[in-house]
Amino acid sequence: MHRTSTTVKLLVAVAVTALSGCVSVQPRPSAPPIPSPRPAAQDLAPQIGRPPVRDVLEALPDPKPPTATATAGRASAAPPAARHTGPRAAPRVPQPRHVPGPAHPRPPRRAVPAPPAPALPAPVTGTDVCALGRGYGHWPAGSPQSRICDRTYGH
């Protein structure tokens, strides 16, 4: 009896030691999380290009004619610069290049007859399939496989 209690105490001590060793795991040192790389910031606002200033000024309507009092004060001043009011020149459009054709025109194409259809082999009948199963599949005559084949593909 003394031997059994010593053995039990020894087994309990080993189990406690094993469990305490398995349970007490040293925690990892906590490191700050690594930030994920962010994509470069992009300006998502639409980019609006401004037209040339001369086009904008030419598109504006002529100002209202000056009143009589304003003209009297300006009479002594130098005359304003002449404004171009004639028709604007149309923007120059490049002419499409002329690609010369072949020196000799091609003769008209003749209709080519369709090639003859290849001869198809005779369709496989049900008995041929079952014969293959019996020959290569080693089906004995009257076996379930042979009977199923005969019923499915006919005999």
Residue 78 lies in a domain: no
What range does the domain containing 155 cover? Answer: 124-155
Q: What is the mean pLDDT of the chain?
A: 73
Q: How far is it between the farthest Cα atoms of the chain? A: 138
Q: Which two tokens stand for residue 18?
A: 């094993």
Residue 136 lies in a domain: yes
Residue 33 lies in a domain: no
Residue 150 lies in a domain: yes
pLDDT digits (tens, 9 = 90+) for 54-102: 787 787 777 776 665 555 555 555 555 555 565 666 667 677 676 666 6
Question: Above 70 in pLDDT, residue 41?
Answer: no
Question: Above 80 in pLDDT, residue 112?
Answer: yes
Highest mean pLDDT among 7-16, 78-87, 119-128: 7-16
Question: Above 90 in pLDDT, residue 144?
Answer: yes
Residue 76 lies in a domain: no
How many residues are listed for the chain in this entry?
155
pTM: 0.21
- Residue 3 binned pLDDT confidence (cut-offs 50, 70, 90): confident
71 φ, ψ to 5°?
A: -75, -35
- Among residues 119, 141, 122, 121, the alpha carbon closest in space to that of 130 is found at 141
Judging by beta carbons within 10 Å of its beta carbon (0-12, 13-18, 19+), is residue 134 exposed, middle or buried?
middle
Give the pLDDT score at 125. 63
How far is residue 146's CA from residue 152's CA, in Å, rounded to a whole number? Answer: 10
Look at the chain and report how many structural domains it folds into.
Answer: 1
